[in-house]
Structure 1
């Protein structure tokens, strides 16, 4: 029936249907050919520079038309003609010179961008009313341009009888993480030191000025790193422009006076621009002109020098990057006082205020911030142990079950910025305590409360074992190694005592940069010192310490640890990073062990966190050693210790953590290693208040499955892969 209907329809309308189909096919083909032709014409015009837009078309708008022009220009292949870049504007028929202000900015949070837009609007209104020789100011995002186009030479544009000279205004925040600002500063250095380029390629600028935004909570003064990147920009710009600083560096604290200081700087810059436009040069009468004293230049006093510091021009010493914010060396010339500097004394401030980006970043990573400077976080091994998937190496070596462990710190601040830090570089840094001090009672109660809340959040997670969940509601161990430097906290002894009173053992980790605090430390269950390199050069490269005397501090700590080895269990923790601290350093590590004589030496491969901070520090998965490489290193270190007559041996391993343990033979009793701890015995000895030694609370023999060569995975648990599938052990 259906076939007869279709046949009848075709007999009646077949010809019409055929014409329609052919027409549709022809139309589709024609459209396709038109599209190809248009695309080819566009590519041809672009590659040959035949765009109908002129340079003037890119200048009509107030929101960086130059950025659009430069982006379009970079689409066309550059032609190298071998001509030297002109550093001064050519005279065009005696034409009139006009000034083009450019507001450069960089921002991670948007606050610097908003201030730049505010200054742009104010400048636009100011120059419309007063001076026609100054062009409409433009905004330039440092993250959206090719830096060579603006800093290797000025982007000079000529309009008929006019010469355009640029005036650079740079708004630079300072961060304690690696950003594009570090790349720009490196470019400045490369340009200045490139023999093929004029050392002052921006001398054709009408002038420049820099405004810095910083946080005095982290860096209380210029000497301690306040607005350090802005000062570095000013230093290099002075070199690249031939000392054309038109107005002094402005500096503002983002948490107090940034807006007021920025308004003052903007007013001064606009006044300077007006003067420059009227006179045609900076001139000696312009505020901020004259010789530019650079931060890497310093007069050296001689024993016979009778000149005062002022007669020596008061040039400041080097202001390094945030890795070197230890302040100026004693005896050096004082820093010049900026016009924005507040003389009002300020009391201690919170280390991590609730309103700060640091607080937001840390809480986003899973931290519970306690008070103003402490934190607690649940460890991934705690989650693993709750689900019966294994505890960390501390259970294999010392008998600590991960689901009974609380990881916390009374000080989020650290004095190193290690390349392998897996805390994403978001915690504060400092070389001395200058913040509010929270009472230890508040930190202790807050840490327990925060930990228990996080444990309760695991209640509904698939695989959590009921018995372990109940056990986890009673903290038995505290790892003071979460982030920062726990020994930095002024009341660390009181805090540790609170742990011991509640029969919570204490493992405290320090980075060997605070010898005075280490010497004053009272007994803890186990004391760690991070030994991340065997020599000063490697230590600076991998730990990036803030203290200038970092190596002296480091060696002092080893001596203190040697003295404490008979009072508490001491541990050297070696974190091995391929390409940084493994190759040819075994002998150096053996020498350090000879100096400190620790009870144990933990050797662990680095854990790569995969963040941009790690990548910018030069760390990738290529730097993570295989366990076979860790084994080879441990065996070589053990041999090196034997050659020195040191009584050590390889005791245990935890292959899953890529970790192994070398122990003093003080803990090798009756043919067996005794690396475990008798925690109840420790608390009894501590409560008596008398001196005791590590042997007094030595535990039972290390379990067979944890001994060297047996892998170290708890046989009660089940290893799984990334997808939760069981792995045979």
Structure 2
């Protein structure tokens, strides 16, 4: 017999796992056939399956996509199987000769849709009389809840066990033509016995059919390690008995199931950075710090070391890009945005459940690693000696590398330590943690990403983990407008606030009125509007291509229309090189028409330290500086500092613009 391996993949993970199991089967001399479900015609193949009396086991590896939908490549397969399992005209013994096992790929943080497709597939096949040779196994991207610490380890455990089962089956170990239940297989390893330690229901099929009629999804088995969750569905008396066993019965006399649950509940918080994640991020150029933080050298830092210009923050706010450190104290994020620069290689989460490193260690590690990366530019052609020397005196910190820095429990300590070292803070949050915004100490500039202006488009673009993502965004914007600090008797803090809008052509550029309403809600000092950056083809980007990247003139047109709808805002600056435009409240414009969007950083640090010592409040206008003429909209330089040297590919190098 041939083992058939069918996979449905969105980002390529299921495909890589399918190839891995085929490779191991080949190594054991077991014939196998690998096929992508997008090329698999269920009608032709499944009908042929029974007619030819094929007995080869089938392994399915399938992921669950946004909102509990299958990967787009195998929508037809899933739709056909669902229809067939529910169509009274289809013979329910259609797949009676099929023996199968399923490994689902999902993330338990999406609780409503966790491994929905894998579970549905398991139920549909069962309703068509296919025989399970192994219980449905859910792989979990959420390292906190994953049984083995990561989805890759979940898969490796499943792979080991399923191959043991396949070896047994293919050796002809069957009783009267019926596949032996896994729990009865003597030759399976002791590890298998533990993993397949399940609570079986003898009336499972009947109950599944009843649940299907009610429109509910049936569960096949309950793992011992999941009994704690399942207890919530049991009567009060059962719960009391369980608690009695835990609290009063001698430990040695407890059933093995209870011991497993107790052991699981007492485990220490895991590290956010797994070995697999460390390898992936290190390959991308990250310097990882401790168990949950990272730092990376920004391309604009490298550019300004060579005298080739700084980033848009240099143009808009006067930072020195070669003295800026891009870091994060939390690699985890609560969104999986389609335009994520990191292609979702970082972890996700809705709350802090990981081991935590002290803020002092994170800052020390970030600075040391940043300086170590600067050292590598010594002697590099084009690097200016004075810029190289200044690079070892960090003056700015962009807390926007990846993830959600505001999730870090010691974020206030982190910010205070930065300011004590004379380092300004530019913190970006994805507007999913309104309480953290409220309790945040004053930063030099606080950003909220507003990636879309309506609930539907935000869900499509940001793909948030929170079910109540839209109310959270609204509350975050309100918190921004009312910025107060609970540690100082609700003293208003007028620090600089920014909306960051990323325009994705054909996705969110037509939401002008809705954007205007959100601006009125949060009343930010500034609005940065940037065209989306295309970071290369990614299967996780939901079809984002270069066609979705607006031209700079298109961004300017959008911003012009938006400011016409707003009271008290005007376009202040542009940075053509970054395809970015700055809108500012007119309070940052002096009586003689000069913009004051730049920052007096020494003055900010003075105000912050006074605030910490006495609680004396300050406003955004207390630390402004004059914006140079070359940075203002309409200047010939279009945001490029004339003291820098513009470098154009395949063109002559020109001074200034």
Q: Same fold (TM over 0.5)?
A: yes
Which residue is equivalent to 1:191? 80
Find the aligned partners of 1:241 and 1:606 in 2 and give their Cα distance.
45
The 5 Å alignment of 1:438-477 reads 438-477=357-396
Task: Give the equivalent residue in structure 1 for 2:633.
Answer: 708
Tell me the alpha carbon deviations over residues 146-174 of structure 1, each in whole angstroms, 9 at most, x when there is no partner: 6324575327379xxx9413454325376
Paired residue for 1:666?
587
Cα deviation 1:51-107 (Å, max 9, x = unaligned): xxxxxxxxxxx7x6xxxxxxxxxxxxxxxxxxxxxxxxxxxxxxxxxxxx5344686
1:599 is the counterpart of 2:525: yes
How much has 1:685 moved relative to structure 2? Answer: 1.1
CA contact (8 A) 1:425 1:613 kept: no
**Distance change in 2, residues 1:716/1:190 (3 Å):** same
Q: Count residues with an aligned counterpart.
A: 570
Residues of 2 paired with 1:421 and 1:522: CA distance? 27
Gaps of 5+ in 1: 1-61, 65-100, 125-136, 301-312, 318-327
| Residues 115 and 296 of structure 1: CA distance in aligned 2, closer, same or farther (over 3 Å) | farther
Matched residue, 2:189: none
Change (3 A) 1:574 1:261: closer
Given that 1:507 and 1:524 are in contact with CA atoms closer than 8 Å, whether structure 2 keeps it comes out as yes
Residues 1:447 and 1:676: Cα distance change in structure 2 (over 3 Å): same
Is 1:617 the equivalent of 2:542? yes
- Other-structure match for 1:488: 407
- 2:316 paired residue number: 397
- CA contact under 8 A between 1:414 and 1:484: conserved in structure 2? yes
TM-score by length of 2: 0.77
What is the CA RMSD across the aligned residues, in angstroms? 4.1
Residues 232-247 of structure 1 mapped to structure 2, 5 A cutoff: 232-239=117-124, 242-244=127-129, 246-247=131-132
CA contact (8 A) 1:200 1:241 kept: no
Question: In structure 1, how many angstroms separate the alpha carbons of the residues matched to 2:285 and 2:313?
Answer: 22
Task: Determine if the alignment matches structure 1 residue 204 to structure 2 residue 84.
Answer: no
- CA-to-aligned-CA distance 1:583-615 (integer Å, 9 cap, x gap): 2x111111100000011111111111113236x
Per the alignment, residue 250 of structure 1 pairs with 137
TM-score, length basis structure 1: 0.70
Asked if the contact 2:65/2:71 (under 8 Å) is kept, the reply is no
In the TM superposition, what are the counterparts of 1:79-98 in structure 2 within 5 Å? none
- CA 381–287 in structure 1, closer or farther in 2 if over 3 Å, else same: farther
- What do the CA deviations read for 1:380-408 (whole angstroms, capped 9, x no partner)? 11111111111011011110011010000
Instruction: State the match for 1:577 in structure 2.
Output: 504
Structure-1 separation of matches of 2:345 and 2:446: 25
How many Å apart are 1:286 and its aligned residue? 11
Contact 1:154 1:205 in 2 (8 A): no
In 1: Cα distance, 2:633 partner to 2:234 partner: 57
Aligned-pair distance for 1:359? Answer: 1.4
SS in 1 for 2:75: helix
1:290 aligns with 2:205: yes
CA distance in 2, matches of 1:423, 1:287: 47
Larger gyration radius, structure 1 or structure 2: 1
Q: Tell me what 2:59 maps to.
A: 170
- Give the 3 Å change call, closer, same or farther, for CA 695–251 of structure 1 in structure 2: closer
The match for 2:40 is 148
Higher mean C-alpha displacement, 656-665 vs 403-412: 656-665
What is the aligned partner in structure 2 of residue 649 from structure 1?
570
Partners of 1:206 and 1:281 within 8 A in 2? no
In structure 2, what is the Cα distance between the partners aligned to 1:295 and 1:380?
A: 59
Counterpart CA distance in 1 for 2:108 and 2:177 is 39
Give the counterpart of 1:437 among 337, 340, 356.
356
Deviation, 1:704, is 0.5
Q: In the aligned structure 1, how far is the partner of 2:208 from the partner of 2:7?
A: 24
CA deviation after TM superposition for structure 1 residue 204, in Å: 2.9
- Cα shift readout 1:432-477 (whole Å, capped 9, x = no counterpart): 2111111111110110011111111122322111111111110000
- 2:283 corresponds, among 351, 364, 389, to 364
CA spacing shift, 1:280–1:172, aligned 2, 3 Å: closer
Distance 2:154 2:179 in 1: 34
Correspondence for 2:177: 278
C-alpha contact (below 8 Å) 2:42/2:80 kept by paired residues:
no
Q: Is the 8 A contact 2:6 2:18 kept in 1?
A: no
CA change 1:531–1:188 in 2 (3 A) is same
- Mark the CA change 1:569 to 1:208 in structure 2 (over 3 Å): closer, same or farther: farther
- State the distance in 2 between where 1:276 and 1:595 align: 69
Bigger shift: residues 657-666 or 565-574: 565-574
**Aligned partners of 1:677 and 1:698 also within 8 Å:** yes
**Pair 245,516 (structure 1): closer, same or farther in 2 beyond 3 Å:** farther
- Alignment of 1:350 with 2:350, yes or no, is no
The partner residue of 2:604 within 678, 682, 698 is 682
Aligned residue number for residue 488 of structure 2:
none
Q: Distance in 2 between the 1:556 and 1:529 partners?
A: 12
- Closer, same or farther in 2 for the Cα pair 1:461/1:639, shift >3 Å? same
Q: Does 1:567 align with 2:486?
A: no
Following the alignment from structure 1 to structure 2, what is the Cα–Cα distance between the partners of residues 211 and 342? 24
